[in-house]
Amino acid sequence: MTDLQRSILAISTALVFLLATLILRTTGNQAEKVRVPETKLSFSPSNAYEATKNLVTQYPERGTGTEGSRGAAKWIEAEMKRAGLRTEQQEFEAWIAGRRVGGRNVIGVDEGIREDAVALIAHYDIPYHVREGAMDDASGVGVLLELARVFSHEEQKKTLIFIASDGEEWGMLGARHFAKEYPGLKRIRAVISLDYVRLENPEKVCIRGEGQFRGYAPLWLWMLAEDCATRAGGEPGSPDPLSHYLAQAVNISSTDQGPFLRAGIPGINIGGDHSDSPLAQKVYHTPFDTIENLNPGLFEVLGRTAELMIHSIDALDYSMDNNSYYLRTGKRTYVGHAGTITLQAFLFLPLLLVTGFQYYNVRFRRKFMSDVLAEVTNMGLFFLPWVAALVTLYYMVWTDFIPRYELYPATTLDPFLKNPNTRAAAILAAELIGGWIVVSVARRFLSLWGRPDFASAKAVCLDTLLTVSIIALALNGFAASLFLAPAALLWVWMEGDAGLLRRALNVVLALAAAAPLALMLVMFAAKLSLGPYIFWYLLTGAGYRFFSPQAVLITAAALTIGVRLLQKSLTKTNLPTGSELNQ
């Protein structure tokens, strides 16, 4: 780049952050609030505890597809009938650990005056290595059954649908099936997921609103959960604005509201969080998750929060704004869809400018088109091994060389997650490395692909990054701005000067762009208690399409661009000779 172009780049980058600040400060909207009615609460913590105790003592082993699971489903259905609900069981099949397993949701309906409905959901399944699962999530089922009893004695406007779901531990399989197949899905105005009571500090209510790869809880539902938790005598545990942004970028649900949000139905989860409770950390997904850890007092705040939420939603006579694409900036304020996507797109403006500068600077060279075509070919060739490895990975899962799961890798603390298939990993690594070696050797012997200088290579690399970023913005602007914007803002400064200091700076710029992804992986590994096994989790997640093919290929493309750009910036064939210019 010329000095003038560098100045324009610096000014445009500063303007991007200035405009971002202005958008955040001036375009905030006041979120619509749902009134929490003054009403007498009837939820009985002791009844919820007794229901939980009966479930775990009679059916301590409730892994999806087991005899205990089927017995538990019958018991739950009988309890719903006893509360006066119209019941049914909804069966489905899914892959778990390489086996086709049958699961079943238990559904109870309390008809209201109107057709529109509110759904409550809690899962009764547990991992196969766990016994009882009293906290996670028999306690949620206990709350669900007590709320069914409470509302069966009251008349409400909206129909209430109570769902005891199966397969939650393996990717919200029961909720996913319900959200795809339930005939009355479009009647549902909101879903409340109940995922276990807290063993310590029961007054705190953890609130989650991630969709299953798509969708996010609308702000009115977040605020309602917070207000109801406060009214119930609790302390709402909502994410701060930055945590909201991270959650929207990753958008992987771990609780049953996820599939509903993916289907466009507003949903929220209220419950516990094992990460900030030493006792919960000790028992979570272990055989120590037993009824001895529970007492009736732990159920009060969660149950009454849910009861208040049902009353509040039932009283609504109008539709709420269910926009799921927004940027929360405060307790009651947010930036809407248009402002959020504008803010995210602004981050890629410097990349657009520098891409144009690069093509402008090399446009009159005699070798311009041949250099561009050569670099496009190089990029494509180095990208091909990623595609081949992904196809091989899908084949390994399809043939059960890697045990097949329906969508998510095995549940947290399942032994599978720390027993990687080293043969599969070695085959994929060999395919990738071998592919790159073959490509490198082929390029040396075939004169068809020349050796573009740094300026031409940078133009193509940035152009490709811009294209990938536009696709990523269309898929998920939060993910694009978090994981690709650093590359868009940093790689534009990489230069082809052969000096040692310049090369060192290029390395720093290349690696710094990966910092958000690296930090996210560290956080994810800690949350799942995986440590270095996070890489096995990522591999299987790609194979099960837990990470979509688009996300995997976008990541591979970004890595290819970064490595290629760094490689060209470190070679000595960066500057054209005078004979290469025809100006």
Count Cβ atoms within 10 A of the Cβ of residue 201 and give its class: 0-12 exposed, 13-18 middle, 19 or more buried. middle
**Measured torsion, CA atoms of residues 34, 243, 347, 472, in degrees rounded to the nearest 10:** -90
When comparing pLDDT for 173 and 572, which is higher? Answer: 173
Q: Which is it for the CA torsion 196, 200, 206, 211, positive or negative?
A: negative
- Digit-coded pLDDT (tens) for 234-262: 999 989 999 999 999 999 999 999 999 99
Beta strands in 58-203 (DSSP E): 86-96, 99-110, 117-123, 159-165, 188-195
Structure tokens at 534: 């996070």
* Residue 557 or residue 362, greater confidence: 557
**Which pLDDT value is given to residue 52?**
99
Residue 26, pLDDT score: 75
Q: In this predicted model, what pLDDT tens digit does every residue of 315-368 receive, in sequence order?
A: 998 888 899 999 999 888 899 999 999 999 999 999 999 999 999 998 877 788
Over residues 291-295, mean pLDDT: 97
Q: How far is CA 560 from CA 398, 551, 553, in A?
A: 27, 14, 10
- Residue 3 preceded by cis peptide, ω within 30: no
Give pLDDT tens digits for 401-448: 999 999 999 999 999 999 999 999 999 999 999 999 998 887 776 655
Q: What is the mean pLDDT of residues 268-274?
A: 93
This prediction's pTM? 0.93
H or E segment and range at residue 342 = helix 337-346
pLDDT of 580 > 60? The answer is no
Tokens 């970004």, residue?
Answer: 558
Q: Are 303 and 439 in contact (CB under 8 A)?
A: no
**Quick check: 581 pLDDT over 50?**
no
Which tokens is 496 given? 């082809």
Query: Among residues 369, 346, 372, 563, which one has the least CA distance to residue 473?
Result: 346
Write the CB contacts of 203 (distance below 8 Å, at least 6 apart in sequence): 233, 234, 235, 301
Higher pLDDT among residues 275 and 82, named by residue:
82
pLDDT given for residue 362 in this prediction: 87
CA distance 237 to 250: 19
pLDDT value for 369: 86
Are 172 and 212 contacting, i.e. CB atoms less than 8 angstroms apart?
yes
Q: What pLDDT is attached to residue 578? A: 38
Model pLDDT, residue 582: 39
Among 185, 355, 372, 157, residue whose Cα is nearest residue 260? 185
Tell which residue, 254, 272, 298, 293, has the closest CA to residue 131. 293
Q: What is the pLDDT of residue 439?
A: 87
What is the rounded average pLDDT for all residues in the chain? 93
- Strands 159-165 and 117-123 turn out to be parallel
Per-residue confidence (pLDDT) for residue 28, from 0 to 100: 73
pLDDT of residue 573: 56
- Report pLDDT for 446: 60
Average pLDDT over residues 533-544: 97
Nearest to 313 by CA among 191, 136, 454: 191
- 489: its two tokens: 């803002």
- The pLDDT-based confidence of 50 (bands split at 50, 70, 90) is very high
What pLDDT sits at residue 25? 78
pLDDT reported for residue 448: 55
**Which range, of 25-29, 299-303, 558-562, averages the lowest pLDDT?**
25-29
Mean pLDDT score, 512-533:
94
As given in the structure block, the two tokens for residue 535 are: 């890489």
Identify the structural domains of the chain with CATH numbers, from first to last: 31-334 (3.40.630.10), 365-580 (no CATH)
Least confident range from 37-46, 81-90, 489-498: namely: 489-498
Residue 131: both structure tokens together: 């016994």
Say whether 546 sits in a helix, a strand or coil.
coil
- Tell whether the model's pLDDT for residue 205 goes beyond 50: yes
Q: Name the percent of the chain in helix, strand, coil, to the closest 5.
A: 55, 10, 30
What average pLDDT score do residues 281-309 get?
97
